[in-house]
Amino acid sequence: MPLSPRVPELSALDVLVTVERLGSMGAAARAHGLSQQAVSARVRSAERQFGIKVFTRGASGVRPTAEGALLLEWAGRILDAAEELASGVSALRGERSRGVDIAASMTIAEHLVPAWTVTMRRRFPDVVTSVRLQNSAEVLARVRSGEADLGFVEGPDIPNDLRSREIGRDQLVVVVPPGHRWARMGSVPHDEFAATPLVQREPGSGTRTTLEHAVPDAAPPLLELTSGTAVKAAVVAGNAPAVLSSLAVAGELDDGRLVEVHVEGLELPRSLQAVWDPARGVRGAAREFLDIALTAR
């Protein structure tokens, strides 16, 4: 049965969804490697084909109309289904056996990826899954360069030229050793927290970036380290505070080696995201791995 003449091609739907996600024709053009005029023309063509105005245009960018928002939600589902179809075709052609290269930021790699790789191995024993542990900035660079089929990052910033999907959430928490003064206070004023040097992750990590967005006036770090394990050891040894993922400190909070401290007016929820290059898509073994991560959340 032929497609309805009211349904644009997948490439046009992809452009529409990108315009909505990025909020402007220019940003969508850069993401797709097109001119802004070409993107505007595709949007107008799709609107004529739908017979519905998808976007309203203004000085600050574009926004979907009420009808357009519904169309774009459907379009996103179609694009997801198309990627699943492409993944299935790749598997039938034997491409899954080529293996999959994963880049994951430290927290995700330490606390979530191991279970995903075990599931991947059980389901697809012929697939070799290679995992590289890096900070979020390095993961994004590796995905962008094509060295990784799929990346996993924490933090608030996903570049416009990559596609992403939330695979879970965590919470950053302020922790100190039991003997620290803050452990007895129950609650710390925001100003005191901001003025106190912390043991921190290195620049480029999702934890560091999230904290910098939430507390832009924070004091310079007391110490910078490249893993959550090293940060926890430094907190205990130096009787100093730090901010870490709730995933990373769950065991230490349960057995009392660390104490969580509430900071007035500070909440640090965080989205955990899978990222990939839209030009290459996420197919074959990479799609299978992404599906495992999504199912496990």
User: What percentage of the chain has pLDDT greater than the value 90?
Assistant: 38
Beta-bridge mates of residue 57: 62
Other beta carbons less than 10 A from residue 149's beta carbon:
26
Q: Which residue has the higher pLDDT, 222 or 1?
A: 222
pLDDT at residue 196 in the model: 96
Alpha-carbon distance of 39 to 26, in angstroms, equals: 8
Outline which parts of the chain fall under CATH 3.40.190.10.
Answer: 96-167+271-296
**Residue among 17, 28, 23 at smallest CA distance from 68:** 17
SS3 23: coil
SS3 82: helix
SS3 285: helix
When mean pLDDT is compared across 2-16, 118-132, 192-206, 219-233, the lowest value belongs to 2-16
pLDDT at residue 188 in the model: 95
Residues 83, 139 contacting (CB under 8 angstroms): no
- Per-residue pLDDT for 166 more than 70? yes
Burial of 55 (0-12, 13-18, 19+ CB in 10 A): buried
Residues 52, 8 contacting (CB under 8 angstroms): no
- Per-residue pLDDT for 94 more than 70? no
- Across residues 77-94, what is the average pLDDT? 68
pLDDT at residue 95 in the model: 52
**Residue among 201, 160, 221 at smallest CA distance from 19:** 160
Residues 158, 277 contacting (CB under 8 angstroms): no
Alpha-carbon distance of 218 to 212, in angstroms, equals: 7
The whole-model pTM stands at 0.67
**Residue among 74, 56, 207, 72 at smallest CA distance from 137:** 207
Residues 259, 180 contacting (CB under 8 angstroms): yes
Alpha-carbon distance of 172 to 184, in angstroms, equals: 20
pLDDT at residue 198 in the model: 95
User: What percentage of the chain has pLDDT greater than the value 70?
Assistant: 93
Residues 277, 202 contacting (CB under 8 angstroms): no
Give CATH for domain 10-90.
1.10.10.10
Banded pLDDT at 90 (limits 50, 70, 90)? low
The CATH H-level superfamily of 96-167+271-296 is Periplasmic binding protein-like II (3.40.190.10)
Outline which parts of the chain fall under CATH 1.10.10.10.
Answer: 10-90
Banded pLDDT at 1 (limits 50, 70, 90)? very low
Architecture of the domain spanning 169-268 = 3-Layer(aba) Sandwich (3.40)
Burial of 82 (0-12, 13-18, 19+ CB in 10 A): middle
**Residue among 182, 193, 186 at smallest CA distance from 219:** 193
> What is the residue type of 72?
L
SS3 3: coil
Give me the long-range contacts of 65-74 (CB less than 8 A, separation at least 24): 68/20, 69/20, 71/16, 72/16, 72/17, 72/20
Outline which parts of the chain fall under CATH 3.40.190.290.
Answer: 169-268
